[in-house]
Structure 1
Amino acid sequence: MTFLQLLIIAIVQGITEFLPISSSGHLILIPYLTDFPDQGPLIDVAVHVGSLLAIIVYFFKDVLVLARGGFASIGVGADRPGAPAERRLFWWIVLGTIPAVVFGLAIKLGAFNNVAETWFGITVVDDDLMSSIRFTDLIAFNLIFYGILLGLADWIGRETKVFEDMTWRDGLLVGLAQALAIIPGTSRSGVTMTMARFLGYQRVEAARFSFLLSIPAVAGAGVLIVPEIFEAGTALAWDALVAGVLTFIAAFATMAFLMNFLKRASMSVFVLYRVAMGIGLFYFF
């Protein structure tokens, strides 16, 4: 693989994984606009690992709180001041992860194939989804629909809650929203921020909530691809390392940008971008 291909994959993954603009809506354009070969499962794992490390480094203090909460749940440091609150946040994140795990495993096992074929005209396990015109229509529609929903949530949502205010109900609802990201064009970060804003979380806190909830989701997505690596071999080890490092840089910069941007601006620019891109996909394809 060329450095240019690795760079483009890393930038697209690092940026679109965390901005509420849908990674699938952008990834679909790469094979149409370039003659790059498929990057393979090892590169997919590498970019997921790069994204995951970026979240952990950027939100290290929050990750440490959640880790302490996990240890407190098994009795390690359970008598510390603050341990009950940390334990509660840990379990609410676990609760919010369950819907995505259930939906992800169901798709991996092919449980939704009939639904996907009936409703969307696509086959989930088909390796050549990009050739489906109805698949591109689905992405375009969801870019627009969930973009408008994001704008509505940002417009009417109060700004009263922070991440530490999370309850089991909030964790579950945002987790259910995250599970919707299995539908192409939805955007995992976009749909979780949308739900968090509807629940009254401040813009920055909605993004923080979304990113922290993504840790097990991004890690799980990488783990699900690992078996494919053993089938394909590991000849691209150096390319994978480069892709992972580049993705880490792109993802870290994206999170820093978004967290600072949302301190002084609304989600409107992302809403407009999603709608424009959705219309563009309808026209282009």
Structure 2
Amino acid sequence: MWDLLKAVVLGVLQGLTEFLPISSSAHLRIFPEIFGWGDPGAAFTAVVQIGTELAVLIYFRKDIWRIASAWVRSLFQPEWRGHVDSRMGWYIIVGSLPIVVLGIALKDIIEKDFRNLWITATMLVVMGLVLGVADRVGATDKAINRMTMRDAVLLGLAQAAALVPGVSRSGATISMGRALGYDREAATRFAFLLAIPAVVGAGLFTLPDIAENDNAYGWGPTIVGLVVSFVVGYAAIAWLLRYVSTKSYTPFVLYRVLLGLATMGLLAAGVLTAA
């Protein structure tokens, strides 16, 4: 029963923090450490991530189909090459390259050096402030159909910064989108669309972990964690897109800064260990 409860909590954390601009890697690193739960194992982590991957694929299924079909048509039919959806396909492909290239090149550094909790806590605070400044200073007159290749590259570079725990994939991309002048809904929607190849790619990359016996909770709680992460992740996407249509990112900024400072305090007090 205890393992089931832990699986539910971790599933909620994964589902919420994968898409809200507050960093899933930070939460899955900090909270199990605070609770003294230890590492749930590579297999559990890989399976629970599949839940959020399914959430984003199902929520954006119509967008994915429309963009993918227009992109494929543009390869063979010249009249489709200027269509906004075919261009969006190229923007997502090009914007995904930085996180793929850097993720492979820096794999060992990411898995070892970047997992230091001091780095995670610092990134929570710094990128929270960046999100706050970008949201207040950025213009709000550009819709997603005004995306350009230059913007896609810059947004892709911003997403790649999330390889450092504590940055947040959606938070970094949204910050860049706001700095480039996109309205909140456009910046958030493109952040989610751009995340699809990265999230699915990360899931495929961790599939071999599922075959390992490195699962501290067993398969019953693990499947429960997957279902919870899917439901919570789907709800988080829907809620955030509605929320940003009328409100700012200020609550997320405050939360990030407070969590980062609290983590620093716990590290300084010896309650948490950095490594």
TM range (shorter): 0.7 to 0.9
Task: Give the stretch that moved more between structures: 33-42 or 3-12.
Answer: 33-42
How many residues align? The count is 265
Q: CA deviation at 1:100?
A: 0.3
Q: TM-score, normalised by structure 1?
A: 0.85
- Where 2:83 maps in the other structure, the secondary structure is helix
| Corresponding residue for residue 84 of structure 1 | 83
Find out whether 1:8 has 2:25 as its counterpart.
no
Cα displacement string for residues 4-63 of structure 1 (whole angstroms, at most 9, x for unaligned residues):
111111111111111111123222233333243532222222222211221122222211
CA–CA distance in structure 1, aligned partners of residues 57 and 114 of structure 2: 32
| Corresponding residue for residue 143 of structure 1 | 124
CA–CA distance in structure 1, aligned partners of residues 198 and 55 of structure 2: 14
CA–CA distance in structure 2, aligned partners of residues 241 and 72 of structure 1: 38
Find out whether 1:100 has 2:99 as its counterpart.
yes
- Where 1:10 maps in the other structure, the secondary structure is helix
CA–CA distance in structure 2, aligned partners of residues 174 and 251 of structure 1: 22
Q: CA deviation at 1:179?
A: 0.5
Conservation of the 8 A alpha-carbon contact between 1:69 and 1:89 = no
Task: Give the stretch that moved more between structures: 52-61 or 36-45.
Answer: 36-45
Q: Give the alignment of 1:189-200 within 5 angstroms.
A: 189-200=170-181
| Corresponding residue for residue 25 of structure 2 | 24
CA–CA distance in structure 2, aligned partners of residues 81 and 138 of structure 1: 45
- Where 1:213 maps in the other structure, the secondary structure is helix
CA–CA distance in structure 2, aligned partners of residues 211 and 43 of structure 1: 24
Q: CA deviation at 1:103?
A: 0.9
CA–CA distance in structure 1, aligned partners of residues 136 and 69 of structure 2: 35
Conservation of the 8 A alpha-carbon contact between 1:42 and 1:236 = no
Match for residue 266 of structure 1 among 248, 255, 259: 248
> How big is the alpha-carbon RMSD for the aligned residues of Structure 1 and Structure 2?
2.3
Find out whether 1:284 has 2:266 as its counterpart.
yes
CA–CA distance in structure 1, aligned partners of residues 213 and 123 of structure 2: 33
Find out whether 1:173 has 2:154 as its counterpart.
yes
Find out whether 1:243 has 2:225 as its counterpart.
yes
- Where 2:11 maps in the other structure, the secondary structure is helix
Conservation of the 8 A alpha-carbon contact between 1:69 and 1:83 = no
Alignment gaps of 5+ in structure 1: 114-123
Conservation of the 8 A alpha-carbon contact between 1:48 and 1:219 = no
CA–CA distance in structure 1, aligned partners of residues 68 and 48 of structure 2: 23
Could you tell me which amino acid in structure 1 is paired with residue 236 of structure 2? Answer: T
Could you tell me which amino acid in structure 1 is paired with residue 260 of structure 2? Answer: G
CA–CA distance in structure 2, aligned partners of residues 74 and 211 of structure 1: 24
CA–CA distance in structure 2, aligned partners of residues 56 and 197 of structure 1: 24
Find out whether 1:160 has 2:133 as its counterpart.
no
Inter-CA distance 217–129: structure 2 relative to 1 (3 Å threshold): closer
Q: CA deviation at 1:65?
A: 1.8
Conservation of the 8 A alpha-carbon contact between 2:80 and 2:86 = no
Conservation of the 8 A alpha-carbon contact between 2:185 and 2:245 = yes
CA–CA distance in structure 1, aligned partners of residues 97 and 80 of structure 2: 28
- Where 2:211 maps in the other structure, the secondary structure is helix
Q: Which runs of 4+ in 1 moved over 6 A?
A: 79-83
Could you tell me which amino acid in structure 1 is paired with residue 242 of structure 2? Answer: N
CA–CA distance in structure 1, aligned partners of residues 202 and 208 of structure 2: 12
CA–CA distance in structure 1, aligned partners of residues 7 and 111 of structure 2: 25
Find out whether 1:38 has 2:19 as its counterpart.
no
Cα displacement string for residues 66-107 of structure 1 (whole angstroms, at most 9, x for unaligned residues):
2213322443xx377687332211011000000000011112
- Where 1:2 maps in the other structure, the secondary structure is helix
Conservation of the 8 A alpha-carbon contact between 1:41 and 1:226 = no
Cα displacement string for residues 225-267 of structure 1 (whole angstroms, at most 9, x for unaligned residues):
1223334378944444322221110111111211111122111
Alignment gaps of 5+ in structure 2: 268-275
